[in-house]
Structure 1
Amino acid sequence: MTDDFVQDGAVDPLAAVAEPTPLPRIRAFEGLGFGLFVHFGLYSQLGQGEWVWYHHGMDRERYLELFASFDPSGFDADALCALAAEAGCRYVCLTTRHHEGFSLYDTRGLNTYDAPHACGRDLIAEYSAACEKHGLKKFFYHTTLDWWHPEFDGDWDAYQQYLRDSVEILCTQYGTVDGLWFDGNWARKDRDWQEDALYGMIRSHQPEIIIVNNSSIAAKGAEGHPDTDVVTFEQGTPSRRDQRGAAKYRAAEMCDTMNSHWGVGAHDLSHKAPADVIRNLVASRAVGGNLLMNIGPLGDGSIPGYERELLRLVGRWCQVCPQAIYDARPDWSLHGRNGSVCLRQGSTVFHFLPQVRIKGNTHLALGEPGDGLQVISGAIGRVRRISWADTGADLTFTQNGDHLMYEATPYPYGSQLVVRIAIIECEE
C-alpha cells in the first residue's frame, strides 16, 4: 500500500525513449485494470490458509479426508462473477489447481483427485459460464508446484507431461480462455520446466491468451520466459520499468491479499480496509499496471461477508469515473505534487489526488489537511475546463506555459472518496 503514488517533481529519464510496441492482447490486458483473484480448494475447509499442508506437516491421508468431505454447496459462480462486476473488476482468476494438487475441473482420466469425483460438479465449467454471462474475462490459475503428484519428486519428465496434459484440458474444454496464471516454478529453480513445450501447446489452442508465470514475492517484477506477457508484483506495488531495448513489451500486475493469507484464514484478522484497496489500485494504474485483488471463499465455497462488502465499496469508487481507471494511461511527461498521479486518454487528463480535505470548520477534525492548490508541470496542452469527477463541480485554474495551477476544493461534508479525481479537459 502506498499513499504517495509518484515521486514529486522527479525528472523522467525515459520520457523521450521509445518502448517496444505492445502486442494488441497485452494492451487489451492493461485496459482491464482491475481483477478478482479467488483461492479455493480442499484447504479452504480447514480455514488455515492455502499452504496448510506444508506448514502444518499434513500427510496424504489427511487430505483424502478433506477430499471425502468436500462439499462446495455455497460455491455460486454466478454470484461470484456478479460480485466481481459490481466491484469494478473486469477479469477474474480462479485457482483451477493449487499446490495441494486437487483440481476444480474434470481431469478426464488423468486422475480421480478432482471436484467431479469429490462432489459431482465441474466448478470450472460453472465458473466459465458465469464469466461469459457477466462479461468478465476468464483467467485460470494453475499451479506448477504439486505436493500430491508422486512424480513431482520422481520422474520429472513424466510430471511435466502430466502438467501439460492437465493444462491442455483447460485449453480445449472450456471455450475461449483469456488468461493462464502459473505459479510454482520458483520452487525448483534448478529444474527445466519445459516452458517451450507448455506455452507452445497453449498457444496452439488459444493463440491470443495472456500467459502469466508468477515470479514470486522474492523476485517482484522479474521477466521470465519470452512467451509470458506479464510481470508480477506479488504483494508489492508495481514500479515503472525501463523496457528500452526489450524484445517484447510486457504488462505489469500486482496481486494482493485481503489479509495475510490467499486461502481463507479463520483466525486472520489483518484485513485491509476499502481505502487500502483503492490506494493500491491507483498505485498500480499510476504505472500502467493492473491490480489483482484476492478473496478466499469459506470451506463451502461461499464468500465471507467482510470481503463481499469491501468489494462493493471499492466498486462504488470505481463507478465514479470508469474512464479514468480503465481507459487512461500514464502520461510520464506530467508531474503533479503531494503524491498525485496524472493519467491521460486523448485530450483528457485525469488527476488523482490522495489528499483532499473535507469542508468543515475549526470545531471539526478533518483528517489530512492537504493543500488545496494543485500544480501540474509538463506539456498538458491548452486546458478548457477542470471539474471533479464525483460532483461535476467546476474548478478555477490558471495556466502559464507548461504550468497548470488549480484549486482543489474540499469534499462536501459527509463525503470522502480516499482518492479524488479531477477531470482536466484540454483542446484537441
Structure 2
Amino acid sequence: MRQQWFGEARFGLFVHFGLYSGAARHEWVQNYERLGAEEYQAYFDHFDPDLFDARALARRAKDTSMGYVVLTTKHHEGFCLWESALTDYTSVEACGRDLVREYVDALREEGLRVGLYYSLIDWHHPDFTVDGNHPRRGDDAERERNAHRDMDRYREYLHGQVRELLTGYGEIDYLFFDFTYPEEQGGWAGKGPEDWGAEELLALCRELQPGMLVNDRLGIPGDLVTPEQYQPTAPIVKDGVPQVWEACQTINGSWGYHRDNHDQKSADLLVRMLADSVSMDGNMLLNVGPDGRGALAPRDETVLAEIGEWMRRHRRAIVGAGHAPFVPPREGVYTRRGARLYLHLFTWPLGFVHLPGLAGEATYARFLHDGSWLRMSVTDPEQQADYLTPAGEAPGTLTVHLPVRRPDVLLPVIELTLRS
C-alpha cells in the first residue's frame, strides 16, 4: 500500500539546489576541484536565492503531469535548506529562509506528493571521516586526522537531522537517501551501511513516517530501487520478485546547475525515456538544477513545457499505466492502463504497423493525441500473393494502417481498445 501512489504517478521532478548552484559548475564541484572549507565558504557568504519560487516550481511540476517532487534538503556539501537545530550551516543562516518549508507548503497546495532527498555524506561536518569521495582525499595528513574524527558523533548528527525532517514538516511521502560506497577508493576506506547505522535509520523512518517510501541507497533493501543515468532494458526482477523502481535522469548530465554544460537532452528523447520506463513498470524522476538565484534555466523551462504539452494529450498512456503482457513491434513499446493498450511509436513506419498476438484482442484503434480513428486489418494467408497487401507477417497478425505523414507530436501514440 505504501507504494500504490508511486506506481500510479510514474513521473516525478528531482530538484538539486544548494551552494553548488552558485558555483555553477556541477554539484560535485567541491570534490572535483578539491576545494577546502575556506574556498567553499564564498558560496555560503553569497547564497541569495531571491528567485527561488517554490510555488512556481510546484506549478511547473503539475503542468508537466508529474505526481511528486524530490528536493535536495542537504547534498554532500553538508549545506541544509532548512532551519536545523544541529548546525548553523543552513539556508536560514545564509539568507533567512527555510526553503524546505516553502517547498513542502507549495507542493501541498498543488496536491503533489512530497519527496525529500538527504545525503548520507557530509563534507562539512568535522567528524565525517575523509574517504575516497572527500574533497580532502589528496592530503595524506588527513589519514592521521581521521583518528580524531568520530563517526559515532556523525551518525548521531545524521539521525538527528533525519528526525528533524520527518517531524517538522508533516506527512512526507518519499525519502531519497544518497548514497553508500563500501568499496575502497584510492587507498581510502569506503562507507557502508554500518557507517550510517542503516538498520536503525530505516527503523526510525518507519517509526516516524510509516507510510513513507524509502529508497535503496542506505546499502540495505528499501521500498524501491533507483537506477541512475541509464535505462533498464526489462522490468527489474530480483529473486523472482518484481521490483518497484525509478530511473533517475538528468536533462544535461549534471544534477546541479552547470552554466557551461549544453549537452541538453531533447524533449522527444526524454519522452521516449519516460514511455520506456513505464513500459517496464518503472517511474522516471527527471532532474532540474535551479541556478544560483534559484530560478530554472530557460533551456530547462523550455524542455519541461514541451513535455507538459505532450503529457496534456498523452497523460493516460503514462499516469496510472504500466507493463503490458504483449510483445511490442520493433517500432516501439507498449504501456497498458486497464482495457487500453498504448503503442508508443519510437520510429515511424511506412503505411502499416504490425502487432503480433493482438488479432481478436483489439476492437478499436486511434491516435491518442487527437482521437482520430485508424483502420485495422488481420493478415489473410490467402492474400499473401497480392503485392499491395502486407506480406511476411504470420497469419492472424493485426495490422494498423497509418498515414504517410507522422503526426506533429513529440512521440505518436496509438490507443487500442482491448476486449474486456
Which of residues 307, 317, 327 is equivalent to 1:324?
A: 317
Query: Of 402, 405, 409, which residue of structure 2 is paired with 1:408?
Result: 402
Q: Distance in 1 between matches of 2:21 and 2:224?
A: 28
Q: TM-score, normalised by structure 1?
A: 0.84
Measured in 2, the distance between the counterparts of 1:67 and 1:161 equals: 24
Of residues 374-383 and 346-355 in structure 1, the stretch that sits farther from structure 2 once superposed is 374-383
Correspondence 1:210 to 2:204:
no
Q: Which amino acid aligns with 1:418?
A: L
Classify the secondary structure of the residue corresponding to 1:44.
Answer: helix
Q: Matches of 1:190 and 1:179 in 2, distance apart?
A: 22
Measure how far apart 1:88 and its partner are: 2.0
Distance 1:159 1:39 in 2: 23
* Distance change in 2, residues 1:354/1:282 (3 Å): same
* Aligned counterparts of 1:58 and 1:244: Cα–Cα separation in 2: 40
- Between the two proteins, the alignment pairs up a number of residues equal to 378
The yes-or-no answer on 1:225 pairing with 2:220 is yes
Aligned to 1:11: none
Deviates more, 1:62-71 or 1:183-192: 183-192
1:52 to 29, 33, 58: 29
CA deviation profile, 1:22-46 (whole Å, cap 9, x unmatched): xx22232121111111111011111
Q: Residue in 2 aligned with 1:65?
A: 42
Partner of 1:186: 181
**Are residues 1:38 and 2:15 paired?**
yes
C-alpha offsets along residues 140-164 of structure 1, whole Å, 9 cap, x if unaligned?
Answer: 0110111111111121222112111
Asked if structure 1 preserves the Cα contact closer than 8 Å seen for 2:275 and 2:335, the reply is no
Q: CA deviation at 1:306?
A: 0.8
Provide the rounded CA distance (Å) in 2 between the counterparts of 1:194 and 1:372: 59
Name which of structure 1's ranges 123-132 and 191-200 shifts more when overlaid on structure 2.
191-200
1:137 aligns with 2:113: yes
C-alpha distance in 1 between matches for 2:17 and 2:106: 16
Deviations 1:184-207 (A, max 9, x none): 212634561321110110111111
SS at match of 1:308: helix
SS in 1 for 2:226: strand
2:357 to 374, 378, 385: 378
Q: Note the residue ranges of structure 1 that are not aligned, 5 or more in a row.
A: 1-23, 216-223, 357-369
SS of 2:318's equivalent in the other structure is: helix
Matched, 1:118 2:94: yes
Shift of 1:114: 0.6
Instruction: Please say which of residues 67-76 and 56-65 is displaced more in the overlay.
Output: 56-65
Provide the C-alpha distance between the structure 2 equivalents of 1:328 and 1:422, rounded to a whole number of angstroms: 14
Relative distance call for 1:133 and 1:411 in structure 2 (3 A) is farther
| Equivalent-residue separation in structure 2 for 1:348 and 1:380 (angstroms) | 15
1:79 corresponds in structure 2 to: 56
Q: Deviations over 1:284-341 (max 9, x none)?
A: 1111111111111110111111101110100111111211101222113x12222321
Q: Give the distance between the partners of 2:360 and 2:125, measured in 1 at CA.
A: 59
1-structure distance, mates of 2:320, 2:239: 26
Between the aligned partners of 1:411 and 1:133, the Cα distance in structure 2 is: 42
Which residue does the alignment assign to 1:426? 418
Distance 1:244 1:58 in 2: 40
Given the superposition, is the C-alpha separation of residues 204 and 352 from structure 1 closer, same or farther in structure 2, using an over 3 Å criterion?
same
In structure 1, distance between residues paired with 2:245 and 2:181: 18
Following TM superposition, by how much is the alpha carbon of 1:269 offset from its aligned partner in structure 2, in angstroms? 1.4
Distance 2:405 2:245 in 1: 32
User: Counterpart of 1:168 in structure 2: which amino acid?
Assistant: R
Alignment partner of 1:128 is 2:98: no
Offset at 1:265? 0.9
**Counterpart secondary structure, 1:233:** coil
User: Amino acid of the residue matched to residue 203 of structure 1?
Assistant: R
Residue 65 of structure 1 aligns to a residue in which SS? helix
Distance change in 2, residues 1:146/1:376 (3 Å)? same
For the pair shown, the structure with the greater C-alpha radius of gyration is: 2
Tell me the TM-score normalised to structure 2 length. Answer: 0.85
| Contact 1:238/1:252 (8 A) holds in 2 | no
Paired letter, 1:211: V
The offset of 1:75, in angstroms, is: 0.4
Q: C-alpha distance in 1, partners of 2:335/2:308? A: 20
For the 8 Å contact 2:235–2:281, the answer to whether it is kept is no
Structure 1 residue 281 corresponds to structure 2 residue 274: yes
Task: Indicate the RMSD between aligned Cα atoms, in angstroms.
Answer: 1.9
Equivalent residue for 1:268?
Answer: 261
SS in 2 for 1:196: helix
Quote how far apart the aligned CAs of 1:173 are.
0.6
Would the aligned equivalents of 1:44 and 1:299 in 2 still touch at CA under 8 Å?
A: yes
**2:82 is equivalent to residue 90 of structure 1:** no
Opposite residue 63 of structure 1, the aligned amino acid is Y
Offset at residue 86 of structure 1 (A): 1.3
Q: Is the 8 A contact 2:21 2:27 kept in 1?
A: yes
2:163 to 168, 190, 211: 168
Partner Cα separation in structure 2 for residue 342 and residue 269 of structure 1: 32
Q: 1:244 to 1:212 in 2, by over 3 A?
A: closer
What is the CA deviation profile of residues 228-285 of structure 1, one whole-angstrom value per residue up to 9, with x for unaligned ones?
1111110000232453645x65311111111121111111111111112111111111
Taking the TM superposition and a 5 Å limit, the aligned residue runs for 1:345-356 are 345-356=337-348
Q: Which has the higher contact order (CA 8 A, sep 6+)?
A: 1
